Structure 1
Amino acid sequence: MKFSFAHNNINVLDLEKSLAFYKEALGLVETKKHEAPDGSFTLVYLGDEKTPHLLELTFIKERTEKYNLGENEFHLAFTTDNFEKAYEKHKEMGCICFENKEMGIYFIADPDGYWLEILPADFDV
């Protein structure tokens, strides 16, 4: 029996704000969308147009309070072919939340406070 990654999911409080952030900050695009028949939730799948991996954003219509992310030890990582340009863009956006200059990486935070790791393309994982 073998398994393959399909997607990662995060819940978002403001779907439009999150969609705009992921498009601007990481160039992710909507690949598919599912609306609950009763309108109670929406699932939007985002992709990078290079890999099959998807990020699922779950928007629950009646949710009004921010999500409790606890210690927020979970994160997604992205590589970029132009680390310096990405850093400048994220700095301009004001979304850099942590830098580890010794390792040559940094993190950005999305509108809900999820951390996203940014790595140069040649980063040795």
Structure 2
Amino acid sequence: MKFKFCHNNFNVLNLEKSLEFYTKALGLVETKRTVAEDGSFILVFLGDGESTHKLELTWLRDWDRPYNLGDNEFHLAFRVENFDGAYNLHKEMGCICYENKEMGIYFISDPDNYWIEIVPENMK
């Protein structure tokens, strides 16, 4: 039996704001959308155009408060060729929430405060 990664899910309060963030900050594009017939939820899958792994954003119509992310010790990670260019973009966007210069990485946070690790392409 062999299992393969398929997707990760983040629940979001403002779907359009989140889509704008993931497009601008990470270059992700929408690959699939499912809208409940009764309008109670929308699922949007985002991809990077290279890997098969997807990020699923879930919007729930009746959810009216920020999601409790606990200690927020979980995260996604992205490798990037132009680390300095990415850093400058994220600095300009004001979304860098943590830097570890010793390790050569940093984290950004999305509109719902999910953390995303940014690592240079050559980091193992």
1:50 & 1:3 partners in 2: Cα distance?
Answer: 20
Counterpart AA for 2:95: C
Q: After the TM superposition, list the runs of 4 or more consecutive aligned residues in structure 1 that deviate by more than 4 angstroms.
A: none
Asked if residue 49 in structure 1 is aligned to residue 42 in structure 2, the reply is no
Structure 2 residue ranges without an equivalent (≥5): none
Structure-1-length-normalised TM-score: 0.98
Distance of 1:2 and 1:104 partners within structure 2: 33
State percent identity of aligned pairs: 65
Task: Compute the TM-score of the two structures, normalised by the length of structure 2.
Answer: 0.99
Where do 5+ consecutive residues of structure 1 fail to align? none
Instruction: For residues 17-68 of structure 1, give each alpha carbon's deviation from its aligned partner in whole angstroms, at most 9, with x where no partner exists.
Output: 0000000000000000001121100000000001110000000011110000
Query: Could you tell me which amino acid in structure 1 is paired with residue 123 of structure 2?
Result: F
The reply to whether residue 120 of structure 1 matches residue 123 of structure 2 is no
Amino acid in structure 2 at the alignment position of 1:119: V
Instruction: Give the paired residue count.
Output: 124
Alignment RMSD, CA only? 0.5
Supply the distance in 2 between the matched residues of 1:50 and 1:121 (Cα, whole angstroms). Answer: 14
Q: Which residue of 2 aligns with 1:82?
A: 82
Letter in 2 for 1:88: N
1:96 pairs with 2:96: yes
